[in-house]
Chain A
């Protein structure tokens, strides 16, 4: 067990290194010259050279990568070109809405999607199954911002039940915080729910064909305990895997959701950074989001041992 955990943890290191190299070289080998962009249209060649030097852009790749990595390991993500503030500072300011949104959506999506998928599997071939699957394919097809606008228009503008836009900090009280996140979470959660419900359905359908399900029924177990005790537990590993992989979708989605609902989070920061061509900020954000993804998937790997006693390597 311990060996498995250590191995999984060690296995994330090369992935993180590849991500770091990629994110770094993305901007290093960029066709455009960041210095020229920062300097603007009227800059002379000297101005550009000066900016390049001040940013350390003239040194070789490996030196710069080494320095950059070292700084990151020491908690220094660099300085924003646009605001001149340390990026760690910017991120610290913006992380709360993003974290709230992601965690809330994750919990809400799992709570909705898994029972939905189990239901569809149990009623496979009936109209219930078809309805869930139609919902799933719609969830994949309607983009987040479309769902967002429809929900905001209906629930906030027409019915006035929920705030249209904006974020209330958790410090302002749990209820206002929660209210400000309901619509964003639902919009963001749609794709994720579709994804998880779909995999839950197909895995549970597969599991329900297994002999041990027949045994459980032959013992006199009712449908529900059979489904949830014997069925779901055996389907857990693929479901949890997809929850981990789908986390990437969730992260991508926050960028859009925060923009639609005007949440001052990391997604907004990303968009602002793109508009201002604030490369160090883009770099840092991509890196942080990717590391978050890697860590979530590490947690998923470790969770396997909880669900399946056979995993012990």
Chain B
């Protein structure tokens, strides 16, 4: 049994212009100790998926169906009270914006301690000791002093460390990280990634990593799901995806990333993906990527492609997938990408 198993997840929002199908039939699974990356442009349903797992979709204007099975329990069927016992304890989350994700009027110690008191029922002393330990664990210097400080007195990298300390305080079995390093400086990014990999590697925590940065994917993940317009368009182990992206969208995403070629020469020319993500309020008939796709054919304009096997443990939803490249050609290229 996988740690997390999502099947046919749909999340819809009520908007002024109609029903927005933010996530439309997503399925994926994560094993304990595994890192699964979800990749895609902004607005393709990545963060909504994360919020759906935690049961934090805004009430009233959004609805979800399908199943999200965590350790065998369907999270979508749980009451809010039951979800509260899971959130922050068994499943926790690190958000994108460390600057705004911490409460500005409460001390760091209070915010970390809150999780511990809630889920572990620790007393005042024990909470403080454990919070201190967590700060030390995430590599914050002078943890005693930091404990009594407010978020605005910390740097961005430091705040993200606090977020991670908070997320890992109760030893979760699943960690969801939504663009955990996007808002940080490049040097700090590497440190934070190292920290997260180190911490979850030690505890065997499973992880869903949401990002649009293939560098981060290469650094962290074993498996990748590519999402476009609320749907999964490709899924493969990281190596295979980098070596041979089959969906034209994945290819385009990879081509739009800056990277070093093997000899450290000047970066290749970057290509951008023409057009924009389609409105999610339109009913889906044809392939949603077709208007932006260089490989589009008549078939693409009439029917959405099925999600099917296109290689060993490699699946894609495309009528005209990119050809499987020659292994010999792909090899040097992948090496370069992995470093990026």
Contact = CB atoms under 8 A, between A and B. Distances in A.
Given A214-B56, A310-B152, A219 B115 contact: yes
A217 B56 contact: yes
Interface string A118-145: 0000000110000000000000000000
Interface in A215-238: 215-223, 229-230, 233-234
Contacts of A229: 106
The 4 closest A-B pairs by CB, nearest first: A220-B88, A219-B88, A220-B87, A211-B100
Category for how many chain B residues contact A: 20 to 34
Given A125-B60, A126-B60, A211-B95, A217 B101 contact: no
Nearest to A218: B93
Nearest to B150: A309
A212 interface: yes
A257 B45 CA distance: 57
Interface of A: 125-126, 210-212, 214-223, 229-230, 233-234, 307-310
Contacts of A307: 105
B97 to A, nearest CB: 5
Given A211-B101, A212-B102, A234-B104, A218 B150 contact: no
B57 to A, nearest CB: 11
Contacts of B191: none
A234 B166 CA distance: 20
Contacts of A212: 100-104
25 contacts: A125-B60, A210-B100, A212-B100, A212-B102, A214-B56, A215-B102, A215-B163, A218-B87, A218-B88, A218-B92, A218-B93, A219-B87, A219-B88, A219-B118, A219-B166, A220-B85, A222-B81, A230-B103, A233-B105, A234-B103, A234-B105, A308-B105, A309-B105, A309-B150, A310-B105
Interface string B72-99: 0000000011001111110011010100
A219 B92 contact: yes
B54 interface: yes
Contacts of A215: 95, 101-103, 163, 166
Contacts of A219: 87-88, 92, 114-115, 118, 166
A310 B150 contact: yes
Contacts of B103: 212, 215-216, 230, 234
Given A215-B166, A216-B114, A229-B106, 8 more contacts: A211-B95, A211-B101, A212-B101, A212-B102, A218-B56, A220-B119, A221-B84, A309-B152
A233 B110 CA distance: 14
Given A211-B95, A211-B100, A310-B104, A217 B87 contact: yes
Interface string B53-69: 01010001100000000
A307 B150 CA distance: 13
A234 to B, nearest CB: 6
B282 to A, nearest CB: 25
Contacts of A222: 80-81, 84
Contacts of B102: 212, 215
B205 to A, nearest CB: 16
A210 to B, nearest CB: 7
Contacts of B152: 309-310
Given A125-B60, A211-B95, A220 B105 contact: no
Contacts of B95: 211, 214-215, 218
Contacts of A210: 100
Nearest to A307: B105
Interface centre among A220, A229, A230, A308 (most CB of B within 10 A): A220
Contacts of A310: 104-105, 150, 152
Interface in B105-142: 105-106, 114-115, 118-119
